């Protein structure tokens, strides 16, 4: 945990009370600092809504210590049936973290967590309703031990209200926020969206709020309780759709892919399942450019397509005029020709395309790291580029990989003390069993 108002422990620091600005003697420290240098986080999250939050903070430079149950760990690891190999899902959401295993169901394991608490700025959990209360590690308990703790709770429906006791996962939150109702074809049923926006979206919003609360703490010395509802967080991504409800009077309809030829998927060669280009010609200039790119400049003066209203009423004919051109080209070539003409367009990428896309590779968005169990792997990175404090992407931790390290660092325990706690079952023995 950092010293109040100061990012440096150096005794020569001249920071005065009530100020955030620090002037260390060694300016090299400043040059190598990360944005959240000094922030320490006790991460008791699982699956994705919480882990996406702590991973974002780790990518900004915070020291994230993930607290997990011995043997099984975060259920996102997929350690069922005796497996000790972490799933790719876990690896994707837990880079740049350290892992310790504590049995919080044992009093001595719980006490270790509480003993660690004064060393941290933030505690984050996204367990189901009632879990932290059962473990007796709620905000009031932790605030007594560390009055400046920032305590973050991520819940499906929040901690108050008639739904607060309901369990929730990503797609449940999306259904509860209205995302299903606007996804799919007009004459079909609601459809499950593809991305896990409720999980990752809530986590990203939580990371933003934690950063703000941490900045406030640096000014005031005070922590606070933060709560996020996944249902409410998900509505942030539906604001554009909600803007057509007449302020809540009517539902937003499903439109599918074909309601507007200006925003449509067009088939490309050779006709595979994902061989499509999405074209979004949002103004008359782009419509003119589309006509020129597809080699049909006469369409601009065609009576069927004179105005936006005309083009909408004759949308099927307009779609075929454009599709007859896109079918002759690959989605990559179609995207390039359209985009270079100033038209908003993209090929439909398959998810594995992201790891080999030359644009993303040139921008260093794809990171190659070495994982202890999976070997050399590729990970997608953090989208923000920071010129002064970019953090290198690291592999996710093995279960309990840093238990001994953190026990010594936070509590000053010697190896014999750690071994005794392991014998009692308060901490896990995963790394010992690996022979590490």
Which residues are identified as catalytic?
A: 199
CB 289, CB 302: distance < 8 Å? no
Q: Kind of pairing, strands 122-125 and 366-371? A: unpaired
Return the number of other C-beta atoms located less than 10 Å from residue 130's C-beta: 10
Cross-strand partners of 225: 151
374, 91 contact by CB (below 8 A): yes
* Total Cβ atoms within 10 A of residue 219: 12
- From 328, 264, 336, 322, select the one nearest 294 (Cα to Cα): 322
95 contacts 86 by C-beta, under 8 angstroms: no
The CA distance from 41 to 58, in Å, is 9
Strands 263-267 and 276-280: antiparallel
Q: Using an 8 Å Cβ cutoff, are 97 and 397 in contact?
A: yes
First vs last Cα of the chain: how many Å apart?
28
Q: Please name the residues in contact with 273: beta carbons below 8 A apart, sequence gap of 6 or more.
A: none
Q: Are 142 and 117 in contact (CB under 8 A)?
A: yes
Q: Residue written as tokens 């994707």?
A: 92
Residue where the block lists tokens 């606007």: 182
Please give the backbone phi and psi of residue 41, each rounded to the nearest 5 degrees, phi first.
-125, 125
Is the separation of the CB atoms in 267 and 321 below 8 Å?
A: no
β partners of residue 67:
100
List the Cα angle 43/226/146 in 5-degree steps. Answer: 65
């Amino acid at each position: 945990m950092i010293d109040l108002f100061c990012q440096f422990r150096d005794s020569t620091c001249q920071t005065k009370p009530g100020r955030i600005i620090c002037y260390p003697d060694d300016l090299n420290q400043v040059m190598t600092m990360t944005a959240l240098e000094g922030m320490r986080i006790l991460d008791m999250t699982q699956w994705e809504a919480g882990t996406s939050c702590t991973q974002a903070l780790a990518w900004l430079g915070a020291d994230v210590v993930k607290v997990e149950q011995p043997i099984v760990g975060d259920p996102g690891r997929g350690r069922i049936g005796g497996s000790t190999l972490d799933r790719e899902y876990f690896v994707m959401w837990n880079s740049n973290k350290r892992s310790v295993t504590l049995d919080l169901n044992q009093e001595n394991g719980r006490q270790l967590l509480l003993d660690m608490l004064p060393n941290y700025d933030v505690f984050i959990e996204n367990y189901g309703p009632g879990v932290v209360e059962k473990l007796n590690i709620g905000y009031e308990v932790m605030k007594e031990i560390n009055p400046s703790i920032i305590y973050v709770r991520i819940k499906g429906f929040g901690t108050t209200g008639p739904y607060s006791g309901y369990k929730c996962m990503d797609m449940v939150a999306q259904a509860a926020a209205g995302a299903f109702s606007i996804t799919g074809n007009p004459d079909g049923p609601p459809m499950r969206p593809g991305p896990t926006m409720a999980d990752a979206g809530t986590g990203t919003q939580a990371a933003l709020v934690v950063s703000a609360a941490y900045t406030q703490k640096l000014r005031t010395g005070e922590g606070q309780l933060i709560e996020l509802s996944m249902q409410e967080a998900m509505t942030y991504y539906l604001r554009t759709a909600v803007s057509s409800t007449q302020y809540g009077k009517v539902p937003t309809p499903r439109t599918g892919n074909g309601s507007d030829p200006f925003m449509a998927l067009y088939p490309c060669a050779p006709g595979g399942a994902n061989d499509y280009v999405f074209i979004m010609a949002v103004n008359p200039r782009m419509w003119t450019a589309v006509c020129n790119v597809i080699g049909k400049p006469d369409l601009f003066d065609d009576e069927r397509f004179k105005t936006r209203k005309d083009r909408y009423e004759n949308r099927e004919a307009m779609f075929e005029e454009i599709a007859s051109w896109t079918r002759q080209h690959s989605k990559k070539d179609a995207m390039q020709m359209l985009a270079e003409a100033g038209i908003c367009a993209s090929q439909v990428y398959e998810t594995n395309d992201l790891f080999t896309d030359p644009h993303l590779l040139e921008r260093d968005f794809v990171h190659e790291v070495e994982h202890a169990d999976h070997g050399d792997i590729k990970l997608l990175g953090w989208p923000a580029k920071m010129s002064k404090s970019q953090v290198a992407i690291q592999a996710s931790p093995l279960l309990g990989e840093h238990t001994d390290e953190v026990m010594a660092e936070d509590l000053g325990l010697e190896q014999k003390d750690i071994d005794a706690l392991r014998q009692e079952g308060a901490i896990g023995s995963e790394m010992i069993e690996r022979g590490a």
